[in-house]
Amino acid sequence: MLVELGELTQAEAEVAAILEDSADDLEALRLFSKIKHMRGQLSLALACYAQLQARGTGRYSGV
C-alpha cells in the first residue's frame, strides 16, 4: 500500500525490517526489488531479482 501511495522511504524501511527477520520471504524480496527499481537504484534491484531467480521460484521470471 505504501508503495502505491509513493511512500517509498517508509515502504523500504518496513520491507527491510521484514527481510532482516525473514531473509527467505520471497514476496518481501520482490517488493524490495520493486522499490529499489522505482528509486532508480537499478544495480540493487537487479541484485534482488537475481536472488529470486537463483532460488528457482520460476514465478518471478520477467519481474
Whole-number pLDDT of residue 59: 57
Whole-number pLDDT of residue 58: 53
Output the nine-digit C-alpha cell for 54: 537463483
| Radius of gyration, CA atoms only, the chain | 11
The one-digit pLDDT tens for each residue of the chain (63 residues) are 676 657 789 999 999 999 999 988 999 999 999 999 999 999 999 999 999 888 876 555 444
Whole-number pLDDT of residue 63: 47
Whole-number pLDDT of residue 19: 95
**Gap between the Cα atoms of 24 and 38, Å rounded:** 22
